[in-house]
Chain A
Amino acid sequence: MAGSVVTAVSSYLPDRVLTNDELSAIFPEWSPAKILRKTGILERRIAAEDETASDLGVRAAQKLLERECIDPSSVEFLIFCSQSPDYFLPTTACIIQERLGLAKTIGAFDINQGCSGFVYGLSVANGLIESGAVKNVLLITADTYSKFINHRDRSVRSLFGDAAAATFIAASDQNSQIGNFVFGTDGSGSENLIVPAGGLRLSSAPVATVADQFGNHRSPFNLYMNGSEVLSFSLQQVPHIVRRVLKLAALNENNVDYYLFHQANKFMLDALIKKLNLPNEKVPRYGELTGNTVSSTIPLLLEDMILNSRIKPGVKLLLCGFGVGYSCAGCTLDF
C-alpha cells in the first residue's frame, strides 16, 4: 500500500484590500483598533467583481505547478473545494482541468464544504492514493464569501476574506504522512451559518435588506452567521475532534508539535486554546492580513509555517477544521 505525503502548498490572494479603517468608516461604533483587538484581523482581501473562486484557485494552482516544476500533464486527480462555485452545473473542477491544461484522463470533482473542507480534501486525496487508484492529487480550496456578504453587515464583513490555496499530495514509498482522520456532522446547526436563498430550496425571495436586532443589514441572498451559536458548537465539538484524533493516533497532547486549527478569528482561537489548555506557542496563527478564508485558512497557515522554516522533518501536526454545516474534521500530518 502506497503512503501519501503533502509535497507543496501555495496560495493566491485577490488584489483588493479591505482595511479596518474602511470598515470603521461604515461602522463608526467600531474603531480600527477595536476591530483588530477583537478579531485579530488587520485587513482582508476581496475578489474583484468578475473574479470567482475558480479564478483564484487557478492562480494558486499555477503558482504551485510552476514553483515545484510539476508538469500539468502528470497530475492524476483534481479536487476543488468551494462553497462559491461558478455554476450550479457543470462541476467547477471540470472547468479548472481545462484552464490548467491537465490531462483528459484525470478524475475531477468538487467538494462542497467550508471550514472543514481542507481536511476533507486531504482525506479523499489520501484515500485515492492509498487505494492505488492514483499517484497524486491536486487539491484546490477556494472561496469568495465576500460575494454573499452584505456591505452593511459588520458581523461577517469584518471576519471573512477571499483566498485560494493549492496543495499537492503524492504517493510515497514511506508510510503515509497523512492519517488518523475523524469527522463530525451536525445538520441541526445548518441555519446558523447559511446563505438562505439562491439555491433551489428558496430560489426566489425578497431581495430587500432587513436590519437585525444588532443593526446588521442583509437579504436572504446574503450570508448569515449566528456567531454565538457557532462559537458554542465549536467550543463543544473541537475538543472532541482533537481527543478522537489523539486516541486514533495513540498520541498524547504533548506529542503534537503544532495544532493547526481553522483560523476563524482571534477570540475563537483564544477560547479554544483556553478550553483545550494548550500553550499558545503550539497553536500557530495566520489571518491578520487575510481574515477568515474558510477552507483555505489551514493551507495558508501551513504555507506560512513552511516559508518561515517552522516545518522541519519530524514535525507532527494535528489539523482541525470546523464550522458551516455544522461540519468538522481532524487528522494528523507528519513531516
Chain B
Amino acid sequence: MASVLGILVRDARLIFREAIMELEKFYTGLADIFEVSPDSINENIYFDNETFVWDSLAIVSTLALADECFGVILSGQLLFECESVGDIVNLIEQRLR
C-alpha cells in the first residue's frame, strides 16, 4: 500500500514538474511575442497599448505557442477576450482538464 502511494506521489511530482517546465517554456514564448525579457512575464501581466499589446499578431502567435507547449488549439475568439496572461493560463487549464 505504502509503495503504491509512493509511486502515485512520485508520478504526481513528475507530472507537476513537467507542467512547470511547459509553463516556463510558454512564458519564454510569450516574452518573445511581446519582445520583453522572460522574467517580466507572469500571471498578473495585463494587456495594454504600449508593451503588452494584445493585437491579432500576438493572438495568432499565442495560439501556435499554446499548441507547441501544451498540445491544445485554443479558440481565437476566447483568446481575444483574454485581458491578462493569467486569463490565457486559465484558458489552457480549462482545455487540459
Contacts and interface: CB of A to CB of B under 8 A. Distances in A.
Given A38-B61, A229-B76, A214 B56 contact: yes
Interface stretch (A72-80, A108-116, A230-238, A305-313): A230-238
Interface of B: 35, 53, 55-57, 59-61, 63-64, 67-68, 73-76, 79-80
| Residue of A232, A236, A275 ringed by the most chain B CB atoms within 10 A | A232
A226 B77 CA distance: 10
A235 B56 contact: no
A214 B60 contact: no
A267 B64 contact: yes
A205 B5 CA distance: 67
Contact of B63 (A29, A155, A213, A228): A228
Contacts of B56: 155, 214, 216, 227-228
A22 B4 CA distance: 65
- DSSP class of B's interface residues: helix, strand, loop or mixed? helix
Nearest to B53: A29
B60 A267 contact: yes
- DSSP class of A's interface residues: helix, strand, loop or mixed? helix
B68 A232 contact: no
A155 B55 CA distance: 10
B76 A271 contact: no
A186 interface: no
B53 to A, nearest CB: 7
A270 B64 contact: yes
Interface in A198-223: 213-214, 216
Given A213-B80, A236-B73, A231 B64 contact: yes
B64 A271 contact: yes
